[in-house]
Structure 1
Amino acid sequence: MPIYTRESLQTDRLPWVEIEDFEFIHLGRVMVMNNHSVQPDASGHVAYWGYYQDSPLASSMRIEPKHDKDRITVVSGQVQVESEHGRVTLHKRDYYDIPASGATITNSGQSMAELVRVMGHWDHTIRNEICMFRPGNPCDYHYHDGDEYWVIFRGHFTLDYNGMKIPVGPGELMAAGKGIPHGTLDTEEVMNGIVMAMPLEDRKRDGHLNHKNQGEPTIGRDVPQQVWDDLAARSTGATVIPE
């Protein structure tokens, strides 16, 4: 179905979906290391605050792309990327396409760095952004003249996907093909995701299009009836299912 986990992308991805994989990366900050070992008590707790210093997150990593496109987006912190193109520093909202020869990413900030890595075979994007919706400020119900993807990395909410109300949360990808209406109900908590918008087609109208102002959408991607049925089975509310 057009709502995927990382695992289901490998088995159920529709032919028009250009994202093939994604992951969340956490890079720790460089710290002075203690030289003693940690001995948890019977409860599993450790008795001092410096546990992180004994088992820190790695502060750098190497990426060797295995897909046509391999993109990282910083969602918190600061990182330095070194590749054949030179050395660049990325902050929140910045993104970088890893060249085929690979790149080394290092946390260069004062706190943990969080990144979202997206892999696939898209041509190019017209937008790569971090979205945020919160209680009282949901995403309007809309459609696009091109494909759009959300990679959710924080928060639970109810997605309105072509009239179906579907609970989603961190670690899921929404693929909204050209003309497929989508939005959110009022969110239960703050949610964040990476939004990737693909090139516009046909009338090439940018931005959020809606039924009232731009008319009924024409869905431009093939979604088999079985997929709509699977989405309906997951839905918690009223459904509008194409026949």
Structure 2
Amino acid sequence: MSFFKKIFGSSENENPPKQTNKSDELEKYKAIPWMTDLRLDNISICLSSGFKPATSLPTEFERKLRPKVEIAKRLNAIKAIVLWLMVPEEELSNERILNFVSNNGLDLFLADDERQILNSSRNDEELRNLIGWKFENAWSLAWYFGYIAPDITGQMMTGEQMQEILINYTCPLDEKIENWAETAKTVSDEDLNKKEDLFYCLHNAVRSAQLGRQTVPQNFDPIGNGGVIHERRHSLTWMLSDGTEWDETDLST
């Protein structure tokens, strides 16, 4: 059994909530003067899945896609800290991971708390228990490079999914990320903008639920499942926030 399976399990994500007819509720959004086709499509997805974003949400934002290589470096920075905690040192040396970080300037794409991971014990159980949230960041970033789209159920990724991302959607440890990114295929700007807007709407519904409103599907935990939506949205919004540090990403709703 792999370390990923041991820590995070290998069960498949639960099925999304059953879709229901939300045509009456959708009409409320159609009547909003500033409504756009893109937002209306995303609202329809939300309502069909049991999420109810506020009708007052703006639809226009200042978004600018950051360079492809920066997105690749953020994804591979997460790869480095995941490998540090999840793969035994006898199978992957400290030196190889640290050289990967140094040779590619990945320290610039790690948050302060993430940099500390590379100075910690590779057997730190507390850090291992927290690293799953980085999986959720990685899913959206890997989707940009061709992995399956992040789902909206709020279920956490499995270890098997993260392994697939590390193996098939990141730069090999002995290569330069600039070279890898140059040939890597990406989703279209249109698809990225639409996906980010969807998770913006989902995140709004989650935050409303955290305040006690009935805006998420039945059995959806606003804190646990909501945290998954938050982390996936963080990566999507960061990709469209050129010039903004990871921890400074505007995640307001």
- Interval containing the TM-score (normalised by the shorter chain): under 0.3
**Greater Rg, structure 1 or structure 2?**
1
Structure with greater strand share of residues? 1
With normalisation by structure 1, the TM-score equals 0.22
Structure with greater helix share of residues? 2
Task: Determine which structure has greater relative contact order: mean sequence separation of CA pairs < 8 Å that are 6+ residues apart, divided by chain length.
Answer: 2
With normalisation by structure 2, the TM-score equals 0.22
